[in-house]
């Protein structure tokens, strides 16, 4: 029985299956964790969602910003961009079933036995575990409700950029969503910067990657995340695992076997046009 963590799939279905074949993944015995951004940019988002949905309890997922964008496109709130290669998925006969499954997936996974946290983008330096879990559950509750289009229509904003435990409503949900699915950099006191996407060595002062700031999360817990392909899995402190290695950009898909911390990779089969 093994626990496998895989970075952003982005519709790269052939690479996903090839990577799982490398480790002889067995859904009856093993557990597959995925850092989100299951869809978009790669050409086989439909196959990815169908496959993962069929795995049932053998897979643990967190939603990424591209997954939320798919929900918004399906709801008629955002535009279907050709570069995302979502048309086949949106036209599928089972699209409504897939969307309803997707919007009921969590934004945060915590396994207290493994001392492991998984999120798409990161954990705010201003949050402890209890706060992170509470904020994630609030967003998840809205996404799984009938009023989810109202939230999706309001999520496209970079503000507020600082945590306030007294904040409520859509502003609170938007901050939590930006932390969990979009964050890369923070200011020294933990405020979000939603503009910089450069590599850490090129980031302007005083910005720092969220994982370099002092954290309130218990140090006994490791954090695995995706979202930041330009890191190429490097440059993070002990106990922080960056797993997005840019498969959809012609890089590779990365898998971490948790029990022995061994990495496996699968090169991209096709570089996107």
Predicted confidence (pLDDT) per residue in 95-109, tens digit: 999 999 999 999 999
Query: What is the reported pLDDT for 273?
Result: 34
Q: What is the mean pLDDT of the chain?
A: 96
Residue 271, pLDDT > 60, answer no
* Dist CA 213 CA 216 (whole Å): 10
Predicted confidence (pLDDT) per residue in 212-243, tens digit: 999 999 999 999 999 999 999 999 999 999 99
- Confidence class of residue 269 from pLDDT cuts 50, 70 and 90? confident
Closest alpha carbon to 249 in 15, 5, 91 = 15
Predicted confidence (pLDDT) per residue in 53-79, tens digit: 999 999 999 999 999 999 999 999 999
CATH H-level superfamily of 3-267: Metallo-dependent phosphatases (3.60.21.10)
Query: What is the reported pLDDT for 27?
Result: 95
Burial per residue of 139-152, b for 16 or more beta-carbon CB atoms within 10 angstroms, e otherwise = bbebbeeeebeebb
Query: What is the reported pLDDT for 213?
Result: 97
Residue 147, pLDDT > 70, answer yes
> pTM for this structure?
0.96
- Confidence class of residue 272 from pLDDT cuts 50, 70 and 90? very low
Instruction: Kindly list the distances between the CA atom of residue 102 and the CA atoms of 31, 45, 98, 140, 246, in Å, as whole numbers in the listed order.
Output: 18, 12, 6, 11, 22
Predicted confidence (pLDDT) per residue in 7-35, tens digit: 999 999 999 999 999 999 999 999 999 99
Residue 209, pLDDT > 50, answer yes
Count Cα atoms within 13 angstroms, Cβ side, for 192.
26
* Dist CA 255 CA 19 (whole Å): 7
Paired residues of 266 in beta bridges: 253
Residue 270, pLDDT > 90, answer no
- Confidence class of residue 83 from pLDDT cuts 50, 70 and 90? very high
User: Where do the domains of the chain lie?
Assistant: 3-267
User: Mean pLDDT across the stretch 129-155?
Assistant: 97
Closest alpha carbon to 237 in 205, 198, 204, 200 = 200
């Amino acid at each position: 029985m093994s626990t496998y963590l895989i970075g952003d799939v982005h519709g790269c279905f052939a690479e996903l299956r090839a990577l799982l074949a490398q480790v002889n993944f067995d859904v009856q015995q093993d557990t597959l964790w995925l850092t989100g951004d299951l869809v978009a940019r790669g050409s086989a988002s439909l196959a990815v969602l169908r496959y993962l949905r069929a795995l049932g309890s053998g897979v643990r997922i967190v939603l990424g910003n591209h997954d939320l964008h798919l929900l918004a496109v399906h709801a008629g709130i955002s535009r279907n961009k050709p570069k995302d290669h979502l048309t086949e998925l949106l036209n599928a006969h089972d699209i409504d079933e897939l969307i309803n499954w997707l919007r009921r997936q969590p934004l945060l996974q915590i396994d207290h036995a493994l001392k492991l946290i998984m999120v798409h983008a990161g954990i705010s330096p201003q949050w402890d575990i209890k706060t992170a879990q509470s904020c994630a559950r609030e967003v998840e509750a809205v996404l799984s409700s009938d009023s989810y289009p109202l939230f999706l229509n309001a999520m496209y904003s970079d503000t507020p950029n600082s945590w306030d435990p007294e904040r409520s409503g859509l502003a609170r949900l938007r901050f939590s969503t930006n932390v969990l699915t979009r964050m890369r950099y923070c200011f020294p006191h933990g405020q979000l910067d939603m503009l910089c996407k450069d590599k850490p060595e090129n980031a302007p002062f005083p910005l720092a990657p969220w994982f370099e700031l002092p954290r309130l999360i218990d140090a006994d817990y490791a954090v695995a995340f995706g979202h930041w392909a330009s890191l190429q899995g490097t440059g993070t402190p002990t106990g922080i695992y960056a797993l997005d290695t840019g498969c959809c950009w012609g890089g590779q898909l990365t898998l971490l076997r948790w029990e022995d911390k061994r990495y496996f990779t699968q090169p991209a089969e096709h570089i996107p046009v």
